Structure 1
Amino acid sequence: MNYQPEKYWSKVAQEITKRNKGNVIAGDDEPYYVYKRQQFLKLFHKLDFKGKSVMELGSGPGGNLKVVAQHQPARLVGVDISENMLQLAAENLKNYPAELIKTNGTGIPLPDNSIDLVYSVTVLQHNTNYEMFKLYLEEMGRVSRDKVILFERTEITEKGDELNMGRPVSTYATILKNKGFQLVATQYLPIHASYYVCGAIRKVLNPRTRAEGEPLNKLSLLLEDFTLPITRIIDKFWIQKREVTKMEFQKVK
């Protein structure tokens, strides 16, 4: 597969539109992803957005921006490579003041030091081309005047495929250090048992040709609903230093 970000995420947006459920996140709305989002939001709601200018890289259908809007930021900006995703975001954010900007894939179209807090949620991990990944991370540092906060897949050593690449925390830290930022905190999303079990269910019971955004079959959904009450208990006690990781970077004054 030749991964082309704009084309790929535009197709995901089309799949979300087909479901017509008012989805506010990219990808699937299967039980595991609902649970994963609940765990993510516990951390996300703790961030201080009030009165700040905030930008999301890879804003997708606008679900995270909608959450930020409820925290009363002074300015809210979403940047995405897909026009289809931005159209979904515009619909989901029609009751909130948000600026939605399309990037052409070569950078973030905002001035230096123009945003207080810049963040991404499982977006940079899909930039499997290292040069593009590095460019966007550097761009986040260029645009931010205070903080960069990432929720991205990390691994002890670089591993993944052409759609999803986990990189060490040190890789992120080294790139942002060159832009004047210091890593001040890391936190790992407690989802690991559920991740493995539901991932196996998804992989074994669905065709390999299934694209992201397409619904799972009914048996997969049933098994996820059955196993999640068990795995979510294990998640609390079995936390690995990998997968979705919150990394908080502060600009050195």
Structure 2
Amino acid sequence: MNYQPEKYWSKVAQEITKRNKGNVIAGDDEPYYVYKRQQFLKIFDKIDFKGKSVLELGSGPGGNLKIVAQHQPARLVGIDISENMLQLAAENLKNYPVELIKTDGTGIPLPDNSIDIVYSVTVLQHNTNYEMFKLYLEEMGRVSRDKVILFERTESIEKGDELNMGRPVSTYANILQNKGFKLIATQYLPIHASYYVCGAIRKVFNPKNRIEGEPLTKLSLFLENITLPITQIIDKFWIQQREVTKMEFQKIK
């Protein structure tokens, strides 16, 4: 598969539209991703966005922007590479004052130090081309005047595939250090047992060519629903320093 970000995420947006369930999470609303979303929001919703200018890189259909908007930021901006995603976001956020901007893949079209908080949620991990990944992480640092907050897949060593690449926390830290930022906190989502079990179910009981946004088979949905109550208990006690990780960076004054 030749991964082309704009084409791929436009296709995902089309799949979301077909399902017509008001899904503003991401490409999936399967039981595991709903649970993962809940765990993410417990952390995300504690960030102080009130009165700040805020930018989301890879805003997708607008689910995270809607959460931030409820915190009453002074300015809210979403950037995405897919016009289809931006159209979904515009519809989902029509009652909120949000600026939506399309990036052409060469950077963030905003001035230096123009946004208080710049964040991404499982977006940079899909930039599997290292140069593109580095470019956008540096751009986040260039635009931010205070904080960069990342929720991205991390691993002890770089590993993954052409759709999803996990990188060490140190990789993120070293790049942003060169832009004047210091890593001040890390936090790992407690989802690991559920991640492994539901991931195995998804892989075994669905077509290999399924893309994000396409519905799962009824059997895999059933299996996720009956296993999640058990894996959620294990998640509380078995937390690994990998997968979705909150990394908070502060600009050194």
CA-CA distance at 1:76 after TM superposition: 0.2
| Structure 2 residue aligned with 1:141 | 141
| Structure 2 residue aligned with 1:30 | 30
Matches of 1:83 and 1:129, distance apart in 2: 21
Matches of 1:168 and 1:27, distance apart in 2: 25
| Structure 2 residue aligned with 1:215 | 215
Matches of 1:158 and 1:210, distance apart in 2: 25
Instruction: Determine helix, strand or coil for the equivalent of 1:237.
Output: coil
| Structure 2 residue aligned with 1:173 | 173
| Structure 1 residue aligned with 2:182 | 182
| Structure 2 residue aligned with 1:236 | 236
Instruction: Determine helix, strand or coil for the equivalent of 2:131.
Output: helix
| Structure 2 residue aligned with 1:62 | 62
Deviation per CA, 1:141-175, whole angstroms, max 9, x where unpaired? Answer: 00000000000000000000000000000000000
Instruction: Determine helix, strand or coil for the equivalent of 2:120.
Output: strand
Matches of 2:248 and 2:210, distance apart in 1: 34
Asked if residue 115 in structure 1 is aligned to residue 115 in structure 2, the reply is yes
Matches of 2:181 and 2:211, distance apart in 1: 37
Asked if residue 100 in structure 1 is aligned to residue 100 in structure 2, the reply is yes
Normalization by structure 1: what TM-score?
Answer: 1.00
CA-CA distance at 1:240 after TM superposition: 0.3
Paired residue type of 1:6: E
Instruction: Determine helix, strand or coil for the equivalent of 1:147.
Output: strand
Matches of 2:210 and 2:55, distance apart in 1: 32
Paired residue type of 1:238: W
CA-CA distance at 1:28 after TM superposition: 0.8
CA-CA distance at 1:120 after TM superposition: 0.1
Deviation per CA, 1:29-75, whole angstroms, max 9, x where unpaired? Answer: 00000000000000000000000000000000000000000000000
| Structure 1 residue aligned with 2:39 | 39
Any unmatched runs of 5+ in structure 1? Answer: none
CA-CA distance at 1:209 after TM superposition: 1.3
| Structure 1 residue aligned with 2:21 | 21
| Structure 2 residue aligned with 1:5 | 5
Instruction: Determine helix, strand or coil for the equivalent of 2:29.
Output: coil
Paired residue type of 1:178: N
Deviation per CA, 1:5-26, whole angstroms, max 9, x where unpaired? Answer: 0000000000000000111122
Which aligned runs of 4 or more in structure 1 are off by greater than 6 angstroms? none
Instruction: Determine helix, strand or coil for the equivalent of 2:207.
Output: coil
CA-CA distance at 1:140 after TM superposition: 0.1
Paired residue type of 2:125: Q
Instruction: Determine helix, strand or coil for the equivalent of 2:71.
Output: coil
Instruction: Determine helix, strand or coil for the equivalent of 2:107.
Output: coil
Deviation per CA, 1:163-192, whole angstroms, max 9, x where unpaired? Answer: 000000000000000000000000000000
Deviates more, 1:82-91 or 1:24-33: 24-33
| Structure 2 residue aligned with 1:224 | 224
CA-CA distance at 1:84 after TM superposition: 0.1
Instruction: Determine helix, strand or coil for the equivalent of 1:193.
Output: helix
CA-CA distance at 1:80 after TM superposition: 0.2
CA-CA distance at 1:27 after TM superposition: 1.4
Instruction: Determine helix, strand or coil for the equivalent of 1:105.
Output: coil
Number of positions where the alignment pairs a residue of Structure 1 with one of Structure 2 = 253
Normalization by structure 2: what TM-score?
Answer: 1.00
